[in-house]
Amino acid sequence: TASLMRTRALTLYRQLLRGAMKMPTPNRQNYVIRKTRDEYRANMGVTDPEEIDFLIRLADTNLDTVMVQAEHLTRLFNDNSRNTDL
């Protein structure tokens, strides 16, 4: 239903913004935040249930990508900072 889709979209929005804060640098954090806000604003007026479903699945995929990148980049940055300390 529409209210379930809206709830899911807002949950994903918040999760993406939280995921952005896990990025290791302010530039990456700001990029994910800006991209998330821009995409959500651009699609606020979508009313077609199939398109909404597609956008929710896309946001879910983006969330997975952000979380994997945050983990990978954080590990990479931590490894590099340890190597430069030697």
- Helices marked H in 1-86: 2-20, 26-42, 49-85
Summarised one tens digit per residue, pLDDT across range 14-63 is 999 999 999 999 999 999 999 999 999 999 999 999 999 999 999 999 99
At residue 79, the pLDDT reads: 81
Any idea what DSSP says for residue 21? Answer: T
> 71: pLDDT confidence band, cut at 50, 70 and 90?
very high
Q: Which two tokens stand for residue 19?
A: 């995921």
Q: What is the pTM of this model?
A: 0.86
